[in-house]
Structure 1
Amino acid sequence: MFALIPQLTAVWRARSLCGVLIRREVSARYAGTSLGVVWAYLQPCLTVAAYYLVFDVVFAMRMGAGAPTEAVGTYLIAGMLPWMAFADALARGMSSLVESAGVLQKNALPPMMFPVRSVLASALVFAPLLLLLVVAYAPLHGFAAAVLAFPLLVLAQTLLCALWGAVLAILAAALRDTLQVVAFTLSLGIFVSPVLFPAHLFPAGWEWVLWVNPMTPWVTAYQAVLLQGTWPPASAWLGVFAWLAAGAVLLEVLLRRCHDQLVDWL
């Protein structure tokens, strides 16, 4: 990783500046509102509450045999909140370089600091909410030992978004159409994942399509921990490591090939 490691080292050395930029990004999103950064946490919480109210309370919908839980809303929330965190972090990371073009053109800053900043700003909001799911789902998992895997999964998801957010940020700098293509893909990606339905309901012979979605391993792992109190299956861990490794390798290749031209593209 002869190109990636120096970038990460430069980001680490500028961690104080990065911390300031993270706080400014979070506060700037809701500047001028009466509730301020509270909106960052309130919106996901209201979405989760709506799922629970509609599916579990109003309609009292139940899932069929073979599902990890009976209540539809309870099942949806376990995958929907991680998906919301993933989509938000990836989208913000992808647009970070384009939005910071003026700063990068005038200052000798490590370009990778900006995708990292945006992803960490998103994680600052969603990571605490994801960890709160452990408490909210306690009646189902009973604080089994498998819960210890949950913080590791949240950390790995943040790393996933940082790697792939940086990859997409470089591609967006080279070709602005990347922003539109990925935004459209994220709007459809939730339907090709086990977020809305258990994986066993996917058409036979097409299950592999689910694993093209990078969030499938994470959603499968979250559901195993929260809904069943069991350790994530080996297939989920394998998918996690595969997507992290693929992101690191692709980012290394892109940094090697276009590091000198990156600021010019902006």
Structure 2
Amino acid sequence: MISSIKSQIKYLFAQKSLIIQFTRREISNRYKGSYLGIVWSFVTPIMMLAIYTFVFSVIFQARWGTDEETSKVEFALILFTGLLVFNIFSEVVSRAPSLIIANSNYVKKVVFPLEILPIVALGSALFQALISYLILLLAMLMLTGTFYWTALLFPIILLPLMLVSLGLAWFLASLGVYIRDVGQIVGIVIPALMFMSPIFYSRSSIPESFQFVYSLNPVTYVVEDMRSAIIWGKLPHWDWLIIGTLIGLIIAVLGYIWFKKTRKGFADVL
């Protein structure tokens, strides 16, 4: 079993040039034909941040947890960090059910590694997240005059969520070929999960009876650790990082195995 996993990792690693090529194409195609091009990668998160901040902190007069002294600037940064994390998960999982269908021309090419398509989707989402991350750091410096070295732990904190997203993407990409309704179901689940994650509110404001439900949500831990590291300069919860990474690895491996087992029937269905 372990030797098989190692061989598959080597196989995927051998496809790195193809993955990079497809990721670049994915990013360029996203803004192909637009006047601003890749500038939209900067404009979009800034505009969404402004809209969400205005709605929640100005119209709804929301505050973070029980802290009445949270300024609108700090609220905006807290909100932006949560959305940055969730958008990675959301983009990868939302696109997963249609990945194979949208690339059906590659299915009958025996030599083409379909397994890389979820990795490409993750790479594209991480590119957008990196831009949002740089915007967040710049906003921290300009608006609060602070920068914590713990913000550099960004990729380590994201690792569990990246693995979970990739595992789910492999599973849903395969399932979406056989059951086309999967895309519609995911489209309903993702917004529900966003509001079931502590993005627009603090976890401390969640009733005790619902705390257990939130503890099962992997997005919760990553969002909280990311805020602690970037905004408040605190170290992440290392115990969660270790456990979360192991859980993420299990989900990624199971998702990959499922994909490999079921891909043989793609050509018959498509």
**Does TM-score exceed 0.5, indicating one fold?**
yes
Partner of 1:211: 215
How many residues matched?
266
Partner of 2:17: 16
Unpaired runs of at least 5, structure 1: none
Name the CA shift for 1:36/1:256 in 2 (closer, same or farther; >3 Å).
closer
Deviates more, 1:137-146 or 1:240-249: 137-146
Name the CA shift for 1:143/1:109 in 2 (closer, same or farther; >3 Å).
same
Please give the alpha-carbon distance, in whole angstroms, between the structure 1 residues aligned to 2:160 and 2:69.
23
Question: In the alignment, is residue 175 of structure 1 matched against residue 175 of structure 2?
Answer: no
Please give the alpha-carbon distance, in whole angstroms, between the structure 2 residues aligned to 1:113 and 1:32.
26
Pick aligned residue for 1:191 from 154, 177, 195: 195
TM-score for the superposition, normalised by structure 1: 0.84
Partner of 2:133: 130
Deviation readout 1:203-259 (Å, 9 max, x if unpaired): 212212113333111101111112321112346425632541341242244145424
Q: CA RMSD in A?
A: 3.0
TM-score for the superposition, normalised by structure 2: 0.83
Please give the alpha-carbon distance, in whole angstroms, between the structure 2 residues aligned to 1:262 and 1:10.
21
How far off its partner does 1:102 sit? 1.6
Q: Which AA in structure 2 matches 1:12?
A: F
Partner of 2:154: 150
Pick aligned residue for 2:92 from 89, 93, 110: 89
Q: Secondary structure at the match of 1:228?
A: coil
Pick aligned residue for 1:111 from 100, 114, 117: 114
How far off its partner does 1:197 sit? 1.0
How far off its partner does 1:84 sit? 1.9
Name the CA shift for 1:187/1:5 in 2 (closer, same or farther; >3 Å).
farther
How far off its partner does 1:92 sit? 2.5
Partner of 1:27: 28
Please give the alpha-carbon distance, in whole angstroms, between the structure 2 residues aligned to 1:41 and 1:4.
38
Name the CA shift for 1:26/1:50 in 2 (closer, same or farther; >3 Å).
same
Please give the alpha-carbon distance, in whole angstroms, between the structure 2 residues aligned to 1:228 and 1:111.
41
Name the CA shift for 1:59/1:44 in 2 (closer, same or farther; >3 Å).
same
Name the CA shift for 1:265/1:218 in 2 (closer, same or farther; >3 Å).
farther
Q: Secondary structure at the match of 1:34?
A: coil
